[in-house]
Amino acid sequence: MPDDLHREPIDQLREHMAGRHFLVLTGPGISTPSGIPDYRDSDGVRRGRQPMMYQEFLAKPEARRRYWARAMLGWPRVRQARPNAAHEALAALQAEQRISGLITQNVDTLHDQAGSQDVIELHGSLHRVLCLDCEQRSERQQIQLLMEAQNPYLAGVDAVQAPDGDTLLDPTFEARFQVPHCPHCGGERLKPDVVFFGENVAAATAARATRAVEEAEGLLVVGSSLMAWSAFRLCRAIKDQGKPLLAINRGRTRADELLDLKLEEPCEQLLPLLAHHPF
């Protein structure tokens, strides 16, 4: 029985969280059971090719063409992904006021879909598109329909899914790709409303995350290697404030030396049990 198998780690979690309102920070590992690939292996080493850098995306039209060609094929899988038991358990814990809030590194909106409220999206959302010329936002599905209409030659092309809605697409398919233009101003510098590698988290978002850490009585990390500074700095802050830092993560994290407790059981098994056990 899962309860017997996980009784010891659940008891450890309950002991550390008893009487405290923990903030939860989630990363890609919570969404892999929903079919969304993550960036890193169990040693925290990045898989596959180097992701698109922000500076390259801004400077090179061919980089934007490459990004959107691959993203057009990767979007359906992100759009169709559904919350798993771990997302649902965190939504239940928040609804019962057993956790103080939720910060996520993920850009898939699965926490919102599960019913979590006021989620702090450190890295934005793939479900929105930002125009870098007029600063207006559009729904991602609207841009998807534009791309599909302008690039029918890609219909039915099979590409291997990569993290964050990317795909491994043969470069020969990219040269003909028509980049979508902004529905508001006609500009061609559309960008997913996410934080690229090499880009800073928005100041307002970083400030919200900092306040959430200051108001929390502890931090529980779920499914993150914490290799990104935007997440690791929150762990450093919670320890600087003398509060407990816990993690449910399969493999190495950047904060291993700071952790008061680390569990490597699957989060989609542990968190539902935690939601069903008072603490």
pLDDT string in tens for the chain (279-residue length): 345 557 899 999 999 999 999 999 999 999 999 999 866 555 555 545 667 899 999 999 999 999 999 999 999 989 999 999 999 999 999 999 999 999 999 999 999 999 999 999 999 999 999 999 999 999 999 999 999 999 999 988 877 776 666 666 777 788 899 999 999 999 999 999 999 989 999 999 999 999 999 999 999 999 999 999 999 999 999 999 999 999 999 999 999 999 999 999 999 999 999 999 877
Domains, in order of start, for the chain? 7-36+84-123+201-278 (3.40.50.1220), 45-80+127-194 (no CATH)
Bind-site residues for NAD(+): 105-108, 223-225, 249-251, 267
- Among 87, 123, 181, 184, the active-site one is 123
- Report the distance separating Cα 95 and Cα 116, nearest Å: 8
Given a contact cutoff of 8 angstroms between Cβ atoms, the answer to whether 85 and 248 are in contact is no
Q: What confidence score (pLDDT) does residue 164 get?
A: 64
Bind-site residues: 105-108, 131, 134, 182, 185, 223-225, 249-251, 267
Bind-site residues for Zn(2+): 131, 134, 182, 185
Strands 99-104 and 22-26: parallel
Given a contact cutoff of 8 angstroms between Cβ atoms, the answer to whether 270 and 29 are in contact is no
To the query of whether residue 276 is one of the catalytic residues in this protein, the response is no
For 47, other C-beta atoms within 10 Å of its C-beta total: 11
The three-class DSSP label of residue 165 is helix
DSSP at 180: -
